[in-house]
Amino acid sequence: MVNSGIKNSPQCKKVFEQLQKEHKWRYIVYKINMTSLLIDPIIFGDKDASYQQFLDDLNKSGCCYAVYDFVFHKPDGSKREKIVFINWAPDDQPMKAKMYQSSTMTEMEKAVDGYYLKMQASDIGDIAEKDVAEQLNKMVK
């Protein structure tokens, strides 16, 4: 994969750590700023934000990355919380935007080191809440 030269802004890792350690937000959406050639956090979901609100924010953001502090229940009823990293590249976005998105994935992953599950999606159906919970349930012991 060709390196795009796009880097994480200083805020990327800082806000991720606040989500990860302090649970300050439910989710963060990051987007490439083509003017500064930096990946910036652009949307912060309140701790009580719904999964539907998260999907709505993704839908209006075009190509972006997101981390979501996902709460789910194991079959035994125990509550778990894991961070999901999503590479969001909708089918209706320009090819150039998707290429930049793809070529900066490794850079973005440096800022969100510590997520539990990585997903790539081009349609909301790819990251339906029940499907994410099901995947996490399979992975978490």
Q: Order across the sheet with 79-88: list the strands.
A: 7-8, 38-45, 27-33, 64-73, 79-88, 117-121
Q: What per-residue confidence (pLDDT) applies to 1?
A: 46
**C-alpha dist (Å) from residue 74 to 53, 119, 137:** 23, 20, 6
Retrieve residue 38's tokens. 């930096």
Residue 12: name the closest of 34, 28, 25, 35 by CA.
Answer: 28
pLDDT at 121: 95
Helix (H) or strand (E) holding 106: helix 105-111
62, 96 contact by CB (below 8 A)? no
Cα 116 to chain centroid distance, Å, stands at 11
State the pLDDT confidence band at 141, using cuts at 50, 70 and 90. confident
Instruction: Give pTM, 2 decimals.
Output: 0.93
Tokens 């083509």 sit on residue: 34
Segment 20-42, tens digit of pLDDT = 999 999 999 999 998 999 999 99
In tens, the pLDDT along 86-109 reads 999 999 998 988 888 888 999 999
Topology at the third CATH level for domain 7-139: Severin (3.40.20)
- Compute the residue count for the chain: 141
CA separation for the pair 24, 41 (Å, rounded):
14
Every domain of the chain and the residues it spans: 7-139
| Averaged confidence pLDDT in the chain | 93
Best CA proximity match to 49, nearest among 83, 24, 73, 21: 24
